[in-house]
Amino acid sequence: MPKIPDLFATLRAENRKALMPFVTAGDPDLEFTAAVLKEVVSRGASLCEVGIPYSDPIADGPVIQASYTRALNNKIKLARIFDTLADTCPALEAPAVTMVSYAIIYRHGIEKYCADVAERGVAGLIVPDLPVDESPTLAKVCEAAGLSLIQLVTPTTPRDRALRICETSTGFVYYVSVAGITGERTQLPADLVDNVGWLREQTDLPLCIGFGISKPEHVRLLAPEADGLIVGSAVVKRVAEAADKPRDEVLASVGDYVAELIAALEE
């Protein structure tokens, strides 16, 4: 499986951009999580983000919060998620990263968590509740394990702090498009393109934009400014339909949606 820096080097050489769908581990169950990961990659997704369910999610809106609640109500366990990652990630033709609370990493053991996910084919970590001031320890462990540590910059991040975040991130920088929580939006902030443009001048790391992206027109607007786009709530909402509809139908719906966004990305 290609590592994240290698992936973006290839994409840049080919003048292509990445689409990164988000999937909640264990919603509605881990078997379907694995199926969704395989489906979105087969439709052209360049990376996958796997959310580790947590009872107090950070910055997640109602759609993703509800998916975490469903997974936790089904008694999802970290060990079973690791088993699914081990069975799925090495065969994917795209890197996968975990979106995970630092509380989960700390409770599991920093070195053990990094070793466990690396052994199972995971390429990196996104840790939304880890302040940049407290990231050096995890950054060193990730580096030793061959993992990227992807950190987040938001519209309200002071510029001096954004520079520090870029200096300590590896793989790519996750730019949060809005000051708020995840969720589909009809419009994105008017200053988003300018903010990303400023950040582009400060770092050579790839920039991936997330939060609120759900429509082809969002993709067309942001593709010239970003190296990748992250789509979460709109994917999770479609996956949730597996509770009431045939799973093959839901899987096709998710795949068609991802393919539609990738088509817009390549226009």
Q: Residue 1 has what DSSP assignment? A: -
Mean pLDDT of the chain: 91
pLDDT tens digits, one per residue of 204-219: 999 999 977 888 998 9
Average pLDDT of the residues in 125-146: 95
Which among 60, 116, 225, 227 is annotated as catalytic? 60
28: preceding bond cis by omega (within 30 degrees): yes
Token pair 């509770």 is found at 243
pTM above 0.75, yes or no: yes
Give the count of domains, the chain.
1
Which among 27, 29, 39, 49 is annotated as catalytic? 49
Q: What is the pLDDT of residue 184?
A: 45
Alpha-carbon 187 to chain mean position: 21
Q: What is the pLDDT of residue 116?
A: 98
pLDDT tens digits, one per residue of 21-62: 999 999 999 999 999 999 999 999 999 999 999 987 675 678
Token pair 């582009």 is found at 200
Q: Is 60 a catalytic residue?
A: yes
151, exposed or middle or buried, with CB in 10 Å at 0-12, 13-18, 19+? buried
Average pLDDT of the residues in 228-243: 93
CATH number at 228 reads 3.20.20.70
249, exposed or middle or buried, with CB in 10 Å at 0-12, 13-18, 19+? exposed
Decide: 129 and 152 in contact? Cβ < 8 Å: no
pLDDT tens digits, one per residue of 169-198: 999 999 987 654 444 444 555 578 888 889
| Full domain range(s) for residue 26 | 4-265
Q: What is the pLDDT of residue 66?
A: 92
Judged by DSSP in three states, 215 sits in coil
Q: What is the pLDDT of residue 179?
A: 52
Decide: 47 and 7 in contact? Cβ < 8 Å: yes
Alpha-carbon 129 to chain mean position: 14
